[in-house]
Chains A and B, each alone.
Chain A
Amino acid sequence: MVESIVYGFTLGAILYLFSIGLSLTFGTMKIINFAHAMAYTLGVYFFITFLRLFPGAFCISTFLAVLCMIPVAYIVERLIIRRLYGESLDYAIIATYAVLLIGTDFIKFVWGNVPQQVSDPVGLSISIFNFIIPVYRLIIIAVAVILFVGLNILLRTTIIGKIVIAALEDAEGVRCLGVNVSKHFSIVFIFGTLLAVLGGILYAPISAADPYMWLNILLIAFAVVILGGMGNLNGTFVSAFVLGITMAITGRFWSQAADTIVFVIMALVLIFRRRVA
């Protein structure tokens, strides 16, 4: 049971890293960003390529992969997302889905369809009260918690963060104050994408990388964002961990239902909550 709970926390950490970008993008720009999933997958493939170039250098490969995704995120933001500010939501969904289709095919074309494995970079396990827990999973949880705290401090103390918090409330109002909103949105977008890439890389040793690895996590992350409230950063944190633990515990008893339980919870919450999003 303890193993399941630790696994649940690990899953929650990955979900948090992935969802935070979705939540920020929706909260500030009112765009549902399917291209987020493309960045997540592409980042993992970059990482695997770097890991082949520098065998064993997990941290360096992670850093390089995250670095490589900055121009990709910038191009997507500049060419696609920026054209869709204030447009109807449908076209934003469709255009970012198109980016996802193109990105997935690019990955299939370059790296092929075969799932790629990444080995556990730490490889150690510790035993607490006779339960064996891989250290790597604890590291993932620590990374997510540190990022959560760091992100909150950044948002509260820096001027960019304050503008973002204000824009989450009322982007139009911030624009009226003479702030260059789109520049800040651009920073937020790239930052959210990089967090998702980091999440994908951290998750790669636990799962495997394949061109459609985004599908499952994207669907669950949507559930996380809907449950946590779109644009609510603390809500996203809590709902990511709650759903992660629920999935892990369900998976222990009925492995196939682990993903479905998330949507069942989402449906139940939607039935009983009047106002969403």
Chain B
Amino acid sequence: MDILTALGFRASGRNALPVYKEICVLTIFFLVLTLIIHMYRITDFMIFCIYVMSFDLLYGYLGLLSFGHVLYLGVGVYISVLFSIYINSNPLLSLLAGTLGGGIIAAILGLIVVKLDGASFALVNLAFSQIGYFLVSSTFQKLTHGTDGISSRVDAWGFLNFSNEYITFSFILISMLLVFYLLRKLTSSPFGVLIRSIKENETRVTFLGYNTFLYKWITFFIAGTIASFAGGIYTLYVQYVSPTVLNPLDNIDPILAVLIGGAGNLYGAIAGGLLFMIMKDWLSSHFAVWQWVLGIILLIISFWFRHGFTGFVMAIRNYQRKKAVIYDQNGAQG
């Protein structure tokens, strides 16, 4: 199969659900959520959800655990901020610049890291994210103002005025739904089946004649690009950046979010992103030292709840369905 047909957005037959329904549900869900939590926080959560979805493509679908995904988020933020200051203050162009810049870096580094498996993959990514942190905080200090951080200079473009809370919210909601739509199509296409097969057994996929390196590289590239897209949106929303966005210790955030939600499921990524952010907000505003709670949750998940929140929901649903079937059979007999 050549790449184009593999990437072609063909739904894989009977398993495909109507995507428009899912998008409607998500839209309504997030709009209702604004009634409970302040819109400002929800906007933040949605950016994080985009980021978590990109990580889910890499970890949940392809099965590569990266300990350095924060690099692509940070690169997206930095490139779009610098673009808006030095080249053009159009918000969409700086978003595009951040996305492309992060994508190019993911494409180059992907050539190195995708060759690795398991442990080395995780660690080399961690090392690259450390290099990124070092570069922005000291090497390019003149450009990035080091640890002081810089403010972006994004102007309004048409009605897209990012100092307006409602417009920002709608723009980011639409972006998130767009990413969801694209990833939904991608993961239910033959390409998605292929990368899931690589997760299950790469050797067999190689024996079937596929160049697994290429598909892993493409997935890595897409995941990096979407993470940078999240970074670019973050710039539009926060309009300020400091090296803390690239803090290597934050690499655990998307991993934890994906695990909470359930890996290999886009709903899981969104649910996990939301739950993680709500938990983090609550804990960090109530306790000075709070990361140990994350540690305990991670331990519980890695020992007993490996399918996360969505796995839990599905188990309940299956249980109810089984009960219904038994009830029907009993009814038929009686």
A residues less than 8 Å from B103 (CB atoms): none
Contact present for B118 and A89 (CB under 8 Å): yes
Q: A105 contacts B127, CB within 8 Å? A: no
With a cutoff of 8 Å between Cβ atoms, the chain B residues found around residue A7 in the complex are: none
Find residues 106-145 in chain A having any chain B CB closer than 8 Å to their own CB: 106, 108-109
The digit string for A24-51, where 1 denotes a CB below 8 A from any CB of B, is: 0010000010000000000000000000
Contact B294 A32 (CB under 8 A): no
Is there contact, CB below 8 Å, between B298 and A270?
Answer: no
Smallest distance from the beta carbon of B55 to chain A beta carbons, Å?
13
Indicate if the CB atoms of B138 and A105 lie closer than 8 Å: no
Q: Which of B120, B130, B289, B303 contacts A277 (CB 8 A)?
A: B120
Which of B124, B252, B297 meets A267, CB within 8 Å?
B124
Given contacts A97-B252, A260-B131, contact A109 B289 (CB under 8 A): yes
Is B302 a contact partner of A94 (Cβ separation < 8 A)? yes
Task: State whether A215 touches B248 (Cβ < 8 A).
Answer: yes
Kindly count the residue-residue contacts between A and B in the assembled complex, taking CB atoms under 8 Å apart.
Answer: 114
Instruction: Tell whether A263 is near chain B: CB-to-CB under 8 Å.
Output: yes
**Contact residue range for chain B?**
35 or more
Q: Which label, helix, strand, loop or mixed, suits the secondary structure of the A interface?
A: helix
Scoring A residues 82 to 93 as 1 if CB is less than 8 Å from chain B, else 0, what string do you get? 011000011101
Question: Which residue of B has the minimal Cβ distance to A90?
Answer: B65
Across the interface, which residues of A come within 8 angstroms of B252, CB to CB? 97, 101
Q: Across the interface, which residues of B come within 8 angstroms of A93, CB to CB?
A: 65, 67, 119, 122
Instruction: Tell me whether A13 is interfacial, beta carbon within 8 Å.
Output: no
User: Inside 8 A of A99's CB, which chain B residues have their CB?
Assistant: 295, 299
Inter-subunit contact A260/B134 (CB<8 Å): yes
The number of chain A residues with a CB under 8 A from chain B is 43
Q: Is B318's beta carbon under 8 Å from chain A? A: no
* A-contacting 9-mer, from B40-48, B78-86, B109-117, B185-193: B109-117
**What CA separation (Å) do A219 and B127 show in the bound complex?**
6
A97 contacts which of B138, B139, B292, B298 (Cβ < 8 Å)? B298
For this complex, 28 residue pairs linking A to B, each with C-beta atoms less than 8 Å apart, are A26-B119, A32-B119, A80-B299, A89-B65, A91-B302, A93-B65, A93-B122, A94-B301, A97-B295, A98-B295, A98-B299, A101-B252, A101-B291, A105-B292, A109-B289, A212-B249, A219-B130, A222-B123, A256-B139, A260-B134, A260-B139, A263-B127, A266-B127, A267-B112, A267-B124, A267-B128, A276-B120, A277-B118
Interface, chain B (partner A; CB < 8 A): 59, 65, 67, 112, 115-120, 122-124, 126-128, 130-131, 134-135, 138-139, 248-249, 252, 255, 259, 289-292, 294-299, 301-303, 306
